[in-house]
Amino acid sequence: MNLKCLDNIITDGLAIHIDITKFKSWDLNSGLTVNSLSKWKNAISDNIQLLDYGLTAFDIGNTNIMWSGITLNPNDVYFNMKPIGFNVVNNPTTEEYTGVTVTTEILPISGITITSGDTGNYFSLNGGYLNGFFKLDNYTYELLPPRFNKGLTIETLVYLYPDSQGIFYLMGVRAEDKYNPYFSGETVISGNTGNLSIIDGVISSEDNYLEGISPTRKLNDGFGDYLNMYSTVNVELENSGNTTNNVIAFEITKDKGLSYKYIDNNNIIKFNYSKPNIIPISGWTMIDILFKPYDIFANENDLKCAEQRLGDLKFYINGRLRWKIKDFPEMMFKGLNNDREKQIGVPYNISWGGGSFGLKHSYHYDFQTYSLYSGQTSEYINNNFYVESNPYDIDCPKYPPFTPLSGLTFSGDNETFFMVDECTGDVIPVNVMKIEYTGNTTGNTTGNSYFIKFNQPLSVLSNRNYTTEVIFNNDNFFYNPITGQSVYNKISLGLYGSEDINILNETYFENHYIKNNENQILKTTFNIKDNTGKQEVYIGILIETDHDFNINQPLFIFDFKYTGQDILTKDERKNNLLIEQNFDSSIICDLQKLRIYERALSANEILHNVKFEIENKSDFIANVKKGGRLIYK
């Protein structure tokens, strides 16, 4: 390559090229998202629905909806980066009937547009930085390889200030496995570590529990014949290898030196520092990080199974080699040992202008029980309950709500039931909802059936089960004293919504099983159609008879509630893990250009790129005419 004839930057092997001065790489219409101007020669993407994107993207503020997804297509082969942030979660109270409120905070970063001179647009960082993923494990999506046969060059143009220090580039996994070990609010299990029995839990779009579980063949003890030699048991996935040799970061030190840190194969942080004052105190500065392996394979396919190589790690400042490390272990990246949909955007990351805060801002689903009625007054009852016709009548639409029916009255009652304090002997009234039949019914009702509906819609999420429960007491409400006949009676829980509802388990009572003056429990476990996100569901008590109810005797409701795994909370066990401890750092500086080559550039090529930047930027203060010190360590 004749560099003298080249009137632009080196493009041979250029896989990622972000230039904030270019309209196609960044403009005001894209917010603070930047896009690569070039693509890796083997970049590939497919038509992919990432329905579980929010499970991990929520943690870095890329979405404010944890159950949200994104769609990729074959044209998505250009790497992009977004600003890092976090979500502030306000969970509903037990009386608010679900609906998490989320506010997204973006770490301090701003896009600066320059309309005159030759400086060009740039991003100003004050604690914020950019991040993007270049590969999805086990999906047809790869914008950079996990290993680089001919080495790697990372080249960035930044504006430094006297107080600039911290991580300016990170590559690899941005956090430990969020879903292993499991969080009890998402996956309820029984058994032991050698054989986990799943009871219940939130599932992914691919029907995997959020717990990291692997079905494993186990040799049976004392098997009688060959066919019964093995059995399959569920064991928790190993996660010890997820971070080892899977992340590396580079930073500027307080004394204007360079440093790097990575997690080695023994899960130990390795770090090293250059001598001080090898970086300018301020001004536009080009930093090149180059890794060149000692062994390069003629057939790149051989690299996939090859052992980790050694090579030279070199740091160039404004085109001059300032630090060199020999026998440096190869940078090679891998996915997590978990289902693919639970690690979207966690391994294979690039951070520019900062590192990673690990799992510091991660959230999990957790249980909450919501109270629809628990002893409130008549005013609350009449504001929150009314009567409709049977929602399962095939002649009536299931959604939206029906016209209210008359025939039943509601009131708060504190005279019928009481409890006695065991310590003082005091008699304490128990507030209940009293339902009475008036005998005067208007509207469309079939077979004397009434749906006592809680008139606020419940916000429920797909891919998990909900349980609703009612305690009731029948004071001859289902007995007809006029006819004295044995009539059909039934009391159950009813649900309907915009999506079909699956009833998984149901406890209801009919005929002689509806006992008099005895507390009984209605209970239903349900879910909505998988992968439909958030839906509204109405819930109520369905009472049915083929005759009239008893005008003189009431039906009492003590407690009406439901439980779901839909609030968001943090797993305190995952605070301050290794990545958060060592890579949660950013730098105060300005970012303008980032180039990643899938090969190790020569010294002349690096110098050429610096000269090109000088010719196009009058405020570039680099001196490329004089050589710099070469420091070995």
Second CATH level (architecture) for the domain 3-173+243-363+573-615: Sandwich (2.60)
Domain boundaries, the chain: 3-173+243-363+573-615, 187-236, 366-569
The pLDDT value given to residue 217:
76
The pLDDT value given to residue 630:
38
- Which of 601, 630, 631, 632 lies closest to 292 in space, CA to CA? 601
Min mean pLDDT across 114-118, 168-172, 323-327, 430-434 is at 114-118
The pLDDT value given to residue 568:
97
Q: Count Cβ atoms below 10 Å from residue 581 Cβ, excluding itself.
A: 10
Which token pair is 544?
């049915």
The pLDDT value given to residue 98:
79
Residue 72 parent element (H or E)? strand 70-72
The pLDDT tens digits for 574-629 are: 999 999 999 999 999 999 999 999 999 999 999 999 999 887 777 776 555 544 44
The pLDDT value given to residue 354:
98
The pLDDT value given to residue 486:
60
Q: Are 312 and 228 in contact (CB under 8 A)?
A: no
The pLDDT tens digits for 116-133 are: 888 899 999 999 999 999
Min mean pLDDT across 245-259, 296-310, 596-610 is at 296-310
The pLDDT value given to residue 626:
43
Tell me what percent of the chain is helix, strand and coil, each rounded to the nearest 5: 10, 45, 50
Whole-prediction pTM: 0.91
- How far is 566 from 503, CA to CA, in rounded Å? 18
- Which of 472, 473, 468, 445 lies closest to 458 in space, CA to CA? 468
- How far is 32 from 243, CA to CA, in rounded Å? 29
pLDDT band at 631 (very low <50, low <70, confident <90, very high): very low
The pLDDT value given to residue 36:
98
- Which of 578, 160, 608, 50 lies closest to 357 in space, CA to CA? 578
Looking at domain 366-569, which of 1.10.287.130, 2.60.120.10, 3.90.1170.50, 2.60.120.260 is its CATH number?
A: 2.60.120.260
- How far is 266 from 269, CA to CA, in rounded Å? 9
Q: What is the mean pLDDT of residues 78-84?
A: 98
Q: Given this chain, do its domains 3-173+243-363+573-615 and 366-569 carry the same CATH topology?
A: yes
